[in-house]
Structure 1
Amino acid sequence: MEILHKPHDGFFRTFFGRTRELGELLQQILPAELFRQLDPGSLKVEPDSYLDEKGREYFSDIAGSATIAGQKHKIYILVEHKSWPNKWVHLQMYHYIYRIWKQELKEQKSSVLCPVLPILFYHGPTRRIDPSLRSLFPPSLSAEIRGRQPELDLIIYNLSLPETIPGSCSATVAAALYSLKYARDNLTALLRVLNRLAREGGTAFLLSPDFKQIQTYIFSASSLTEQEIHQQIYTEVTNPVLQEEFMSTAQLIMQRGRQEGMREKAREDARRMLDKGFSIQDIVDITGLSEQEIKDLQEPHNQTQIHA
């Protein structure tokens, strides 16, 4: 359900948060010489949550690790996903790296720091992103002062730029990347690409669970209306299996969206009734919500009343 409510983050984490897909993504993102320094087969997905001294939990989008070729040392890989500009992403990544180091030093009793590769995966509005943390400092600083500030050079994969998706990746990873690139505001371009991938990947690709997940993301992320989506599918999709798959998925997503919209309206009506002193049973009878749902709404409502 996370893909429906937070389509970009939910899809990115669930699709590329798996070892095989993460490995293929890294092969596309990292410079070839750097990728060759990772031991083949050693990549694994790591827990993505970190605790600070006060026990607060922070989550990166994807965390992984691999051993460095010819060494016993491992390297951490942090991939942060952004679908919209965030000026302070360097600080966010720096915080994650600090937590990794703290955890590693505590658990391993090590006297050396584990290297970390910080990667920013971006597919928001087209813009230039400076990889350097020092770019956030005032430009008027002298070289002597600037050179003594912390540095962090992000590896940036800016999907919003043209020609960022090479032809060497698998059909499912290519479909995922093109979907992240186009689903929000260029469904026509996306459907044309998927037509090509359908020809190359065949029925096995079209009926795979991975492609079903991609379809769910596409229609959850699109800014088009249901009628516009149906029209685009009929106009642009020539593969009959692909057209049928798209239509059934689009209808399912739209139906879920309508149902969720109706339930949210019922919850809003219930909140108003609580304000007016309606009994829980009356609210259940009028809205169709369960008694437990009303009680769940009632608790934060009572807290608001107490602090008002």
Structure 2
Amino acid sequence: MGIQNPHDKFFKEIFGNVEVAEDFFTNYLPQSILNIIDLETIEPQKDSFINKDLEESFSDLLFKVNINNTPGYIYFLFEHKSYPSKDIAFQLLKYMIEIWEAKVRKEQLNKLPIIIPLVIYHGTERWKASTALKEMINGYDKLPEDVKAYIPNYEYLLYDISRYTDEEIKGEAQLKIFFTTVRDIFTKSSKGAWDSIDRAIAYLKELEDKQTATEYFETLMRYIFSVDKSLTSSDVSKIVKKIETTYPEGSEVVMTLAEKLREEGLKEGLEKGMEKGLEKGMEKGLEKGLEKGKREERITTAIKLLTKKFGPLPEELKSKILKLDAVTLEVIIDGIFDYESLDDVKKYLG
């Protein structure tokens, strides 16, 4: 529904709710951490530490909370690419340093606050990257133990929800709906949307506050309609009819959203010269517009990162980068820390 990054919006709308965050902490944090956290002190922070080059792939949220009777933070990093990043431990370290710098500067602190970092991932590929920074440091494991003490290292908590079964997803209705929906949005076809809606209705019926349930249902449907490009106008009509009978409270919400979807899809299609009806307008016009925008952003990011690492790029190399498809550009960006020279990049340029 005109959402530039529906994953980001869905994540922040759900986890920005203190009750949902507390539900997550209670059900998913290791008991050793839960034992020293005062859940009564959870306080969402407005800060975000994701730079513009990466905001299409990541979202973040920071919560202030008393840890072992001392003010500290829990930092959520939500990765919504379809495959995991290899350098996530390094990225997280940079974000934690930015958090420390911001808090020390604003609050005039003499000591750095505790930060517990965690990553939520829901892509199609299994997460294979190590959760420890040391695995990114060449030769770390071969160092004597007393020398390792001088080398920065830490671990982050990982929640690869793409591998969770329904039984492994715990918590109250809002948290369950979020996890099952983002789990299935990449790993299943349009059936994933149907399954998500069926489960959401079942969970929402458990909520006593019908106003909250309806609002949450609208958030869910906006996310599904925005992300699942396999849904056709016929699918949307079927969803509306199904909800009219199974969840009357949400039928008006879905019909309103469906109408907006039709209008926006048709508008995008017409703007791009795709005047062949609703379905073609949505599937071609909107999809191509978004794809072009993403590709142009990736080109800028790739050139910027390579220039920063190797200095000004040869014009011939720049020209080849400008012709690459979005997938190849993403691969180049993701491997930026592994390249030793521009020759390592040229193998992707054909």
Q: What TM-score do the two structures reach when normalised by structure 2?
A: 0.63
Aligned partners of 1:48 and 1:60 also within 8 Å = no
Aligned partner letter, 1:79: F
> How many aligned positions are there?
259
Q: What is the match of residue 131 of structure 1? A: 131
Shift of 1:231: 6.8
1:233 has 2:239 as partner: yes
Q: For the aligned residues, what is the CA RMSD?
A: 3.4
Q: What TM-score do the two structures reach when normalised by structure 1?
A: 0.70
Q: Which moved more, 1:126-135 or 1:160-169?
A: 160-169
- Classify 1:50/1:11 alpha carbon distance in 2 versus 1 (closer, same or farther; 3 Å): closer
Aligned partner letter, 1:252: K
- Cα deviation code 1:108-162 (max 9, x no counterpart): 4433221101110111114134211122234685133766432121111111012
Find 2:267's aligned residue among 254, 259, 265: 259
Aligned partners of 1:172 and 1:205 also within 8 Å = no
Aligned partners of 1:188 and 1:232 also within 8 Å = no
Find 2:195's aligned residue among 185, 189, 194: 189
Aligned partner letter, 1:77: I
Aligned partner letter, 1:135: E
- Classify 1:194/1:164 alpha carbon distance in 2 versus 1 (closer, same or farther; 3 Å): closer
Aligned partners of 1:122 and 1:159 also within 8 Å = yes
Unaligned 5+ runs, structure 1 = 53-57, 267-308
- Classify 1:202/1:262 alpha carbon distance in 2 versus 1 (closer, same or farther; 3 Å): farther
Hey, what's the Cα distance between the residues in 2 that align with 1:171 and 1:159?
A: 16
Hey, what's the Cα distance between the residues in 1 that align with 2:123 and 2:177?
A: 18
Aligned partner letter, 1:170: E
Unaligned 5+ runs, structure 2 = 275-350
Shift of 1:96: 1.3
1:208 has 2:214 as partner: yes
Hey, what's the Cα distance between the residues in 1 that align with 2:225 and 2:219?
A: 10
Q: Which moved more, 1:157-166 or 1:171-180?
A: 157-166
Find 1:82's aligned residue among 79, 82, 90: 79
Shift of 1:94: 0.7
Hey, what's the Cα distance between the residues in 2 that align with 1:140 and 1:35?
A: 31
Shift of 1:14: 2.6
- Classify 1:153/1:257 alpha carbon distance in 2 versus 1 (closer, same or farther; 3 Å): farther
- Classify 1:136/1:154 alpha carbon distance in 2 versus 1 (closer, same or farther; 3 Å): same
- Rg (Cα) greater in structure: 1
**Tell me, what secondary structure is at the counterpart of 1:86?**
coil
- Classify 1:203/1:254 alpha carbon distance in 2 versus 1 (closer, same or farther; 3 Å): farther
Hey, what's the Cα distance between the residues in 1 that align with 2:152 and 2:241?
A: 53
Aligned partners of 1:51 and 1:99 also within 8 Å = no
**Tell me, what secondary structure is at the counterpart of 1:179?**
helix
Aligned partners of 1:175 and 1:194 also within 8 Å = yes
1:176 has 2:178 as partner: yes
Alignment of 1:155-174 (within 5 A): 155-163=157-165, 166=168, 168-174=170-176
Hey, what's the Cα distance between the residues in 1 that align with 2:264 and 2:26?
A: 36
- Cα deviation code 1:51-96 (max 9, x no counterpart): 99xxxxx996111111124x2x211111011012222222221111
Q: What is the match of residue 16 of structure 1? A: 15
1:249 has 2:246 as partner: no
Aligned partners of 1:133 and 1:152 also within 8 Å = yes
Aligned partner letter, 1:91: F
Aligned partner letter, 1:239: T
Q: Which runs of 4+ in 1 moved over 6 A?
A: none
Q: Which moved more, 1:257-266 or 1:19-28?
A: 257-266
- Classify 1:258/1:202 alpha carbon distance in 2 versus 1 (closer, same or farther; 3 Å): farther
Q: What is the match of residue 34 of structure 2? A: 35
Hey, what's the Cα distance between the residues in 2 that align with 1:181 and 1:161?
A: 8
